Amino acid sequence: MIETVASAALAVNENLNIRKRRIQNGKSKNRLSLVTGTHGDELEGQYLAYMVGKYVDEHIDQFDGILDIYPALNPMGIDSITRGIPMFDLDMNRVFPGTKDGTMIEVMCSSIIDDLSGSDVCIDVHSSNIFLREIPQIRMSVPTAPTLLLYAKMMNVDFVWIHDAATVLESTLAHTLNSRGTKTLVVEMGVGMRITKEYCQQLFDGVLNLMKEIGMWQGETAPVREPVVSEGYEVGFVNSDAAGIFVPVADFGDTVKKGDHIGDVVDPLTSKIVEKVLAVCDGMIFTMREYPVVYGGSLLARILMTSGGEGQ
Amino acid sequence: MKKKVLFSMKSPYREQLDIIGCRFGHGRKALAIVGAMRGNEVQQMYVCSRMVQELKKLEAKGRIAEDCEILVIPCVNYYSMNIGKRFWAMDNTDINRMFPGYDQGETTQRIADGIFTKIKDYDYGIQLASFYQQGNFLPHVKVMDTGFTDSELMKDFGLEFGIVRKPRPYDTTTLNYNWQIWETKAFSVYANATDEIDEKAADEAVNAILRFMDKRGIISAKTPPGYVTVIMNESDTRQVQSEAAGIFVSLTDIGKTVERGDILGRITAPFDGELVSEIRSPVSGTVYFEYHSPLINAKTVCFKIIK
């Protein structure tokens, strides 16, 4: 059943509609919400939503509960390849919880929260941006980790990043739902504007496994991997200090030592290497620059520092 | 006046970004003024350029107080201004959501850090601010209620209204908020327009800033008399939203006094011109924000009224 969660009239002969599909079977009232498309340039979740919905449809007799799929919280953004909300230049994930008497976007965010609240688990799928490629991971803040880590481990991700809480992140969908008692996992995987089928398959296996663990799925599931769990201090950031074109020599997923050569920033005009990029710590590269043009400060890589390794 | 490059950043394909500051006077860091941080804040840059003109004259006449230094940064993000973008040209991030900045961080965090380290030790800070929506504001001054800045100081600007805003989580990475955390008394001055120049509002903003500087003993200047500023909480102002979508026509002006029930604007259907909504004022008061675009969506803030 397809429902409209929020709707508002646009200026010329059109409504902005945020829709979800509800799949329901059996007696259980357990509810899993799969939500994605908050940023219009993140598309990995589109394919995951398709895969999960299709598989559950085809094996509905093995499903017991309620699955709500929200593929596009920011449909105009996806339609126009715009990360934020078109016309407003606003990051939708800084507008939650919204308000009922606010502006169009605030009202819509408020309706989304009302609709999602009460889910047993919510999975909020992101896919980095066009600049970076991410290994499948779940991110959570330190205060939410005691509640969420158990569920994150069911999700077949490679990595769980537990980071410090930041006030600015209180305007996110996940913070709002978690603070209201709806357990919400934030997934990051892949790269903006693209679909990485193997990551979607990996997360698909994770979603099925989570559904099984919370009693919503009686069918087959694939074995899930044990993620590496990290505290914030265990991640090394490699930022460019020069401007130019980044050409990696290390691969995504490589294990490196501090000082290892992981790429170069080159100048196409002078044909010079303007920066030799080195690993800042021992560990595994879990984030890698995808878009080559860089300024000083552009993030080139994140390295998950392995225990006992040498860091900066 | 001394012009100085406060922060530089190399670009792969453009001339180096040099953020310029204009310094006046010597000694104690009295006041920093920051203009355009977004590429469409032309009015904000223009007001700063007018301030530079005024301060040059005052400096030549010896009217800047002893042991007082004033810094004006007319434009932080001219890279975006030159190519018609609002946010940072490369990754569309907003420099005014990156404070206090981080010198080892991402590009706009580094820019924010490069500026903030130069302006965080001033007694007072003024940002020429803009609103995310297309529209015009009655010139006014605003403080964020962090508990540090005394809102009564807004009276020294002599603008008609001073508004106190309770910060939301997304405000915590703005310049104004972080200035206060680092103990600079910070104000946002709204000079009506953003991507076009409003000369009258620029006059009013320049006079307001000069009045403030004069009252705080930073300069000695004669300015036209200002208003007795009415100070209020932002939550006490009334937002008026469109109930329909279509073609929007305003029937009022900013600064106008309206009565409850007065018609403020009309929305007509875009294809057949039928009237779909009359926007009436829910309260009596002064119009201080007016939406400024021919097309309007439903639930868009089209007017703000000070009761």
DSSP, collapsed to helix, strand or coil, labels residue A77 as helix
State the ipTM, two decimals: 0.84
What residues of B are in contact with residue A171 (Cβ under 8 Å)? 168-170
Residue A41 scores a pLDDT above 60:
yes
What residues of B are in contact with residue A90 (Cβ under 8 Å)? 132
Pairwise CB contact (< 8 Å): A168 & B169:
yes
- pLDDT by residue (tens digit) across B236-294? 899 999 999 999 999 999 999 999 999 999 999 999 999 999 999 999 999 989 999 99
Pairwise CB contact (< 8 Å): B247 & A11:
yes
Tell me which residue in B107, B247, B295 faces A296 most closely, judged by beta carbons. Answer: B107
Tell me which residue in B133, B173, B295 faces A168 most closely, judged by beta carbons. Answer: B173
Report for A85-89, A273-277, B128-132: range of highest mean pLDDT? A273-277
Do A72 and A36 form a contact (C-beta atoms < 8 A)?
A: yes
What residues of B are in contact with residue A296 (Cβ under 8 Å)? 9-10, 107, 110
CA of A8 to nearest chain B CA: how many angstroms apart?
6
What residues of B are in contact with residue A104 (Cβ under 8 Å)? 297-300
B130 versus B23: the higher-pLDDT residue is B23
DSSP assignment letter at A237: E
Tell me which residue in A11, A83, A239 faces B106 most closely, judged by beta carbons. Answer: A239
Pairwise CB contact (< 8 Å): A167 & B169:
yes
State percent of chain A over pLDDT 70: 97
Among A214-218, B52-56, B300-304, the minimum mean pLDDT is found in B300-304
What residues of A are in contact with residue B247 (Cβ under 8 Å)? 11
Angstrom distance (rounded) from CA B289 to CA B285: 12
Q: What are the residues whose beta carbons fall under 8 Å from the beta carbon of A44, sequence distance 6 or more?
A: A36, A125, A126, A127, A189, A190, A191, A194, A195, A196, A199, A200
DSSP assignment letter at B154: G
Pairwise CB contact (< 8 Å): A8 & B106:
no
Residue A165: its pLDDT value, please? 79
Pairwise CB contact (< 8 Å): A245 & B12:
yes
Residue A306 scores a pLDDT above 80:
no
Do B82 and B237 form a contact (C-beta atoms < 8 A)?
A: no
Give the mutation candidate from B37, B91, B174 for the A interface (greatest A CB count, under 10 A).
B91
Residue A60: its pLDDT value, please? 98
User: What are the distances in angstroms from CA A135 to CA A93, A139, A273, A310, B9?
Assistant: 21, 12, 28, 22, 31
CA of A254 to nearest chain B CA: how many angstroms apart?
23
pLDDT band at A312 (very low <50, low <70, confident <90, very high): very low
Tell me which residue in A12, A84, A103 faces B299 most closely, judged by beta carbons. Answer: A103
The neighbouring-strand residues paired with B138 are none
Other C-beta atoms lying within 10 Å of the C-beta of residue A64: 18
DSSP, collapsed to helix, strand or coil, labels residue B162 as strand
- For chain B, the C-alpha Rg in angstroms (whole number) is 20
Residue A252: its pLDDT value, please? 85
Q: Which residue of A has its CA nearest to B16?
A: A243
Pairwise CB contact (< 8 Å): B92 & A131:
no
Q: Which residue of B has its CA nearest to A98?
A: B168
- pLDDT by residue (tens digit) across A5-33? 999 999 999 999 999 999 999 999 999 99
What residues of B are in contact with residue A96 (Cβ under 8 Å)? none
pLDDT band at A90 (very low <50, low <70, confident <90, very high): confident
Q: Which two structure tokens, joined as six digits, stand for A178? A: 């978690």
- For chain A, the C-alpha Rg in angstroms (whole number) is 20
Q: Which residue of B has its CA nearest to A176?
A: B169
| Ramachandran category for residue A157: left, alpha or beta (phi over 0 → left; psi -120 to 50 → alpha) | beta
CA of B49 to nearest chain A CA: how many angstroms apart?
27
- Which is nearest to A304 in space by CA: A231, A223, A204? A231
Pairwise CB contact (< 8 Å): A297 & B107:
yes
Pairwise CB contact (< 8 Å): A11 & B132:
no
Tell me which residue in B245, B295, B299 faces A107 most closely, judged by beta carbons. Answer: B299
